[in-house]
């Protein structure tokens, strides 16, 4: 995974970050209008995906919940309504400012998921959740991050629940894009068959729930042998 500080390019200048936080700052203003009640790619099923995260996470009042890439706080707000204590991270200051308006008592951390883990989050959580963030990461990066979160930042009985752009497999993805006549941006979207296999090989228990033609939710926990090794 790339470090937040760009390594020098061959000409001595900084290399180009394909996903800088500055790409997301201007979106903060219109984000909620763009996603809520959407029925088109990439947000077809957005509200259902967030509701599915909550249902699979089964929050209870007082639980600690870390929301990674919180954006304007739509997922975190559902957990706040359930009485959870929220920690919300994002690398876009403008997105975090929007989330602050919805989440009066949450703690906010400006953090790039590609960089070192912040000291303030050096603890374990009852639930770690994320929505529509990790599709920028290739499969190896997704798996490494999930494994690290499960082993170092989840309570032993904790759960990591991730909603994102996701297809059953590469054929389903191609069929989907053909059906809508658009490729949007080619990104390493989640392919459930490959992802579940790789996550299980990394020692995680995984359940996949398809939510729409382009969205799905991964519910992960530590498999027994990871528990035993700690």
Ligand X SMILES: C[S@@+](CC[C@H](N)C(=O)[O-])C[C@H]1O[C@@H](n2cnc3c(N)ncnc32)[C@H](O)[C@@H]1O
Rule CB under 6 A: which residues touch ligand X? 19, 21, 24, 35, 69-71, 74-75, 90-92, 95, 112-114, 131-133, 136
Q: Which residues sit opposite 190 in a β-bridge?
A: 166
Residue with the shortest CB distance to ligand X: 71
Q: Rounded to an integer, what distance in angstroms lies between the CA atom of residue 201 and that of residue 45?
A: 29
Least distance CB 156 / ligand X (angstroms): 26
Least distance CB 223 / ligand X (angstroms): 26
Question: Measured from the CB atom, is 150 or 162 closer to ligand X?
Answer: 162
Question: Measured from the CB atom, is 86 or 95 closer to ligand X?
Answer: 95
Question: Measured from the CB atom, is 102 or 114 closer to ligand X?
Answer: 114
**Helical H runs in the chain?**
31-35, 46-57, 74-81, 93-102, 139-152, 170-180, 192-201, 224-229
Question: Measured from the CB atom, is 129 or 226 closer to ligand X?
Answer: 129
Least distance CB 187 / ligand X (angstroms): 11
Q: Rounded to an integer, what distance in angstroms lies between the CA atom of residue 211 and that of residue 43?
A: 11
Q: Which residues sit opposite 180 in a β-bridge?
A: none
Least distance CB 181 / ligand X (angstroms): 23
Question: Measured from the CB atom, is 137 or 167 closer to ligand X?
Answer: 137
Q: Rounded to an integer, what distance in angstroms lies between the CA atom of residue 189 and that of residue 59?
A: 27
Residue 75 and residue 52 in contact, taking contact as beta carbons nearer than 8 Å: no
Whether omega for the bond prior to residue 87 falls within 30 degrees of 0, making it cis, is no
Residue of 82, 74, 36 lying closest to 57 (CA atoms): 82
């Amino acid at each position: 995974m790339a470090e937040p500080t760009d390594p020098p390019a061959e000409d001595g200048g900084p290399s180009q970050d394909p996903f800088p936080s500055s790409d997301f700052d201007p979106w903060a203003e219109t984000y909620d209008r763009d996603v809520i009640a959407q029925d088109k790619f990439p947000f077809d099923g957005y509200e259902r995906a967030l509701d599915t995260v909550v249902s699979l996470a089964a929050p209870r009042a007082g639980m600690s919940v870390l929301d990674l890439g919180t954006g304007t706080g739509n997922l975190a707000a559902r957990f706040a309504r359930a009485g959870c204590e929220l920690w919300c991270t994002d690398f876009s200051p403008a997105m975090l400012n929007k989330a602050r308006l919805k989440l009066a008592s949450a703690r906010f951390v400006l953090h790039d998921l590609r960089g070192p883990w912040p000291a303030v989050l050096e603890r374990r959580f009852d639930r770690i959740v994320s929505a529509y963030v990790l599709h920028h990461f290739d499969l190896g990066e997704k798996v490494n991050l999930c494994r690290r979160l499960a082993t170092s930042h989840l309570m032993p009985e904790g759960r990591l629940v991730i909603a994102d752009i996701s297809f059953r497999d590469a054929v389903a993805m191609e069929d989907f894009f053909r059906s809508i006549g658009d490729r949007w941006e080619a990104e390493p979207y989640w392919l459930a068959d490959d992802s579940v296999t790789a996550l299980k090989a990394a020692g995680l228990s995984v359940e996949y729930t398809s939510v729409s033609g382009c969205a799905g939710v991964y519910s992960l926990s530590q498999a027994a042998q990871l528990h035993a090794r700690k």
